[in-house]
Chain A
Amino acid sequence: MDRRHFLRVTAAAGAGLLVGGTASCATSASSGPVTQTAGTVSIQSNLSAPAAKAAIEALVKAFNDRKGAQASVNTVASETFRTQLPSYLTSANPPDLFTWYPGSLLKGYEEKGLLLDVGDVWRTMGDYSQPFKTLSGKVFIPTTYYWWGFFYRKSNFAKWGVTPPTTWAEFVALCKTLQGKGVIPLGMGAGSDSPWTASSWFDHFNIRVNGAPFHRELLAGRQRFDDPKVKAIFTPWREVLPFTDPNGTAIGFQEATTALLQGRTGMLLTGAFFADAAPKDALEDVDFFRFPIIDPKVPLAEEGPTDGFFASSKSPHVKELKEFLTFAATAEGQEVYIRNSSGTILPTNPKAKDSGTPLVQKGRRHLEEAAEITQFFNRDSSDALQPTADAALVKFLQQPDQLDTILADWQKAAQQVWSA
């Protein structure tokens, strides 16, 4: 862990070294983490969860078995990866490929000339849908994505005699019914180490009330958080706050998942990744429905966070790494990856088969029906903006009557991030 290392450094000689710790963490780039072997494409991966790690290793093995160029993967903890990414990219001898997602951070690196143009690879990806092309530019190759929705247990919904809602009015009515039965209707896990999950509520209300274009403009800094349109997001949210788990800002994402699976909460707005941690038998009982439509005039948008690879412009293995990216973009490569993963992700290649479970097939349709795909708060903005959202939204959950102050503070904090 970088954090521990960081603390050990500072512990060595007391607080004076806090300064040294910061500087050395940022400048230790020369001691790069990957040993370069001639001709082998080195992939720096942040997929440290067991299922995802197995999947990327299987992908690399399948690539190597083709007896063409060879690749090797180096997995580091995702927090370390995130904090060290600038060091990796600016070091003299960086890894060739990185796992990541498209977004403003990547655009920033592209403008600084740190990323390799992989437009050649895109020429082999003609059947990819337009949103993926727009999202990726010339520097990113998308391989998988996943969806968000209100997940619930089918057996519990049957027991309570309720059905999934489609409109906002039905949704509120469902919450009322569940509360009448002594169940907490809406789970929330915005406490502990996962305050960012509150942003999923913000994002969904935003794309339902204001639409995807406004969502993008707001997160790119072209709109303000104290705008009346942002304030309007919180009107329907406030309506369902009484139905939300009162411990929602005290417990983390894992406990919120457990609460849902144990039937203490009725439904949970979450990404399909939550299935990674769910027991297999419970998974067959899990279904989801779309975040209810609030304004039918707003074109349907859904969050579909996309993952994939980008390459360093300093790589000496341009030909080999493009060979790998081309393989990772094929249906074959993505099927290998998905077969070895937890299975609740979708391939970006339209010809690639998903894991085929009813849940995943429904998830694929769920995103195909959407006119617009957004990524997620931190992906459409930046990791730097995420903490400002965490502070504002957790405060809203606890003190909803402070909304005006919260939004004014949020705008101030966001401006600090944007002006930096």
Chain B
Amino acid sequence: MSRRVPPVLLLFVLVPLLVEGFWVFWPALQGFWLALTNWDGVSAPRFVGAGNFARMIDDPVFHTAVTNTAIWLVLFGGLSAAGGLGLAVLLQKERRGVGIYRAALFVPVVFSLVATSLIWQVLYQPGWIFDSSPLADPGTALYAVLVPALWRQAGYVMVLYLAGLKGIDPGLHEAATLDGATAWQKFTHVTWPQLRSVNSVVLSVIVIDSLRSFDVVWSMTRGGPYHSSELLSTYMYSTAFQSLKLGYASALAVVIFVLAFGVIVTYLVRAFREN
């Protein structure tokens, strides 16, 4: 009944597990411990219990960062999913030159986000398209940073959906056409239900990507002007490496982790239950 596992296979599993455990899980666990301390990176960490989390309650910058992260999650996630799906549906049919369009939309994914931000920074410069830079206005800075992030993410999501659409049996669409279904009916009753597995991938990718959005914000505004475009990730970075408050920064990282984990687990549990 039970076949012996070849030792080579065992090695292939255990060695990466050890490496992963040492370089990933162990520091991650340390991060949880650091969240309960005050640490400047030099002296020994001082245990403060839940003090760092209590401090978040009265920290106005934390409040801004949470609000902005929520806005970011909804807009970045929602718009890139809708945009990516729309583009994928538009470009799924094989016709002449469609490859060029797909490639063009995917190109921003290949660029480094820091390079992307530099290009957009130039576009935003006062006196070019805008009279005054939207990056300098606290009312618009967050959205001005969101645009290049979306410009990139939509292409990525499009590719995920293109793959999903390819997996749908064309017979289903033919049958629907014979039954006289409209294009919209075909989309809502045939395409969308078939995309369920892709949707859970897209959702996980989007939630993770939006919570770890950092480089685009940091290189364009550093969370400013006066924290108006601060996300949890940028606030964590500046707390850790500018203010050298590594305990508080670890607590912020724990919040980010709980948020990402919470959203994804909730969704997955629901998705599995439906199955």
Contacts and interface: CB of A to CB of B under 8 A. Distances in A.
Best-buried of A12, A89, A394 by chain B (most CB within 10 Å)? A394
Interface in A63-100: 82-83, 86-87, 89-90
Contacts of A417: 243
A82 B227 CA distance: 22
A19 B32 contact: yes
Nearest to A84: B241
Please classify the interface of chain A as helix (H, G, I), strand (E, B), loop, or mixed, using the class held by over half of its residues: helix
A211 to B, nearest CB: 28
Interface residues of A, number: 58
A193 B222 contact: yes
A27 B27 contact: yes
Interface string A389-404: 0111011001000000
Nearest to A384: B243
Interface stretch (A245-253, A273-281, A338-346): A245-253
Contacts of A24: 23, 27
Nearest to A397: B225
B244 A191 contact: no
A17 B25 CA distance: 8
A195 B222 contact: yes
Given A90-B42, A394-B224, A15 B246 contact: no
Nearest to A395: B226
A390 B224 contact: yes
A22 B34 contact: yes
Contact of A20 (B31, B225, B233, B245): B31
A22 B212 contact: no
Contacts of B244: 86, 383-384
- Chain B interface category by residue count: 35 or more
Interface string A1-33: 011101100111111111111111111000000
A191 B135 contact: yes
A395 B225 contact: yes
B40 to A, nearest CB: 7
Nearest to A80: B241
B68 interface: no
A321 B260 CA distance: 49
A237 B75 CA distance: 39
A23 B138 CA distance: 32
A181 interface: no
A312 to B, nearest CB: 12
B41 A420 contact: no
Contact of A18 (B25, B60, B253): B253
Interface string B231-261: 0010011101111111011100110110111
A16 B257 contact: yes
B126 A383 contact: no
Contacts of A193: 219, 222
A192 interface: yes
Contacts of A395: 225-226
Contacts of B41: 26, 86-87, 90
B242 A247 contact: no
A327 interface: no
Contacts of B121: 192
Contacts of B39: 26
A162 B14 CA distance: 77
B116 interface: no
Contact of A249 (B127, B136, B208, B236): B136
Given A26-B39, A413-B61, A420-B248, 15 more contacts: A7-B214, A13-B24, A14-B208, A15-B261, A18-B212, A19-B35, A19-B257, A22-B236, A23-B250, A86-B42, A90-B41, A251-B126, A251-B133, A384-B244, A394-B226
